[in-house]
Amino acid sequence: MNLAVTDLPGHSVVPVVPSEPLVLTVVIPTFNEAQNVREIVRRLDRTLSGICWEAIFVDDNSPDGTADTVKEAGASDRRVRCLKRIGRRGLAGACIEGMLASSAPFVAVMDADLQHDETILPRMLDALTSGSADLVVGSRYVPGGSADSLAPQRAKISRAATGLARRILGVEIADPMSGFFMLRRDKLDDIADRLSTIGFKILLDILMTAKNSLRVAEIPFEFRERTHGESKFDAQVGLEFLGLVLGKLTRGVIDPRFITFALVGTTGLAVHLIALKLALETFARNFSTAQTIATVFAMATNFLLNNALTYSDRRLSGLGLLWGFLGFCLIGAAGAITNVGLASWLYSQEPTWWLAGAAGAIMGALWNYSMSSQFVWRTR
């Protein structure tokens, strides 16, 4: 017969407390990293001997079954946990959720692909426990570190982004783009609600959100080559970085996601004109038909681009894509009415055509953005 503890007479639940308190959580974001899971656990076990640690893999439902591999490992090793997210994507968001799931006083973030040198983890922890730093960065750009394994093209991008962050954003450390760091969990909790879940640049975001209030130390490491799987860094990640920079430059007044939305909207005009010209030159009998076709075409491209870029972390697919498009068109139509209404009223008060026109257009864009975020690409 199976009895739960609480079914026993006079018995209250007695928690099972492990003998040692947890010290360190290593958060490991994964997307298609099944082949690296076992090896990384083996290495953590070796390098963190004597430290009470756990690893939280945050997996975005990878098609290669990474989460299953993690759970297999976790079934026989309680230090290994899996946080599986469904219908979501994004490195920064995964890191934040992993850190928020930790109960340890110290949390680290490390890639799953073995490119980060896990053997410096104990030294990173020492810097925190000794009280000399609040945040320790595994750095490629201080003496002793290297990023030689980056392809030339990627190395250039990395250097440019680092320069941008240091000059424009005033971040002082050598490698603010590193994806390898450790910090006090209380410091993370203080700022967690202000961090962006978009893009790759979680460390940069932490540094800027904490506004240089953290004492930072850098420990060099050699960025290794990837042996299994492939990088998820692409043009979109670059775009998201620019959005983050702009958002921070405007002190959060401009939502980085709105910047992408507005950029997509602007390209929509070009798409519209090209489609209009093509339609006129080929099959359209009259202008109205051509304009209608161009409008539908531009709306569809706009919708698909927003689905791919602006809302890449909550992409719609299948039937959801169709419903989403219908909603997007309805919102757009209502937005156009708001836009014209506002512009006409403004014009009646102050007849400066471009002022009234621009105000209407901006209002329409903000309407479209906020409604789409809420109803078309809502978080699940």
* 181 is an interface residue for ligand GDD by CB under 6 A: no
**What is the token pair recorded at 20?**
């040692």
Pick 162 or 302: Cβ nearer ligand GDD? 162
> Do residues 50 and 126 make contact, with C-beta atoms less than 8 angstroms apart?
no
CA 98, 100, 101, 105 torsion-angle sign: positive
Which listed range, 16-24, 27-35, 269-277, 327-335, lies at the site for ligand GDD (CB under 6 A)?
27-35
* 179 is an interface residue for ligand GDD by CB under 6 A: yes
CA 238, 240, 243, 248 torsion-angle sign: negative
315 binds, among ligand GDD, Mn ion, none (CB under 5 to 8 A by kind): none
364 binds, among Mn ion, ligand GDD, none (CB under 5 to 8 A by kind): none
Ramachandran angles phi, psi of 219, nearest 5°? -120, 130
What's the distance, Cα to Cα, between the start and end of the chain in Å? Answer: 40
Identify which of 326, 338, 325 has the alpha carbon closest to the alpha carbon of residue 364: 338
* 240 is an interface residue for ligand GDD by CB under 6 A: no
Near ligand GDD by CB under 6 A: residue from 53, 200, 258, 377: 200
Residues 44-83 that bind ligand GDD (CB under 6 A): 58-60
Beta-bridge partners for 218 = 137
Pick 57 or 106: Cβ nearer ligand GDD? 57
> Do residues 346 and 360 make contact, with C-beta atoms less than 8 angstroms apart?
yes
Near ligand GDD by CB under 6 A: residue from 25, 69, 115, 373: 115
Near ligand GDD by CB under 6 A: residue from 71, 84, 89, 159: 89
Near ligand GDD by CB under 6 A: residue from 111, 117, 134, 255: 111
Residue 140's alpha-carbon distances to 38, 59, 164, 181, 259, in angstroms, are: 25, 26, 17, 12, 30
Binding site for ligand GDD (CB under 6 A): 29-31, 33, 58-60, 89-91, 94, 111-113, 115, 158, 177, 179, 200, 231-233
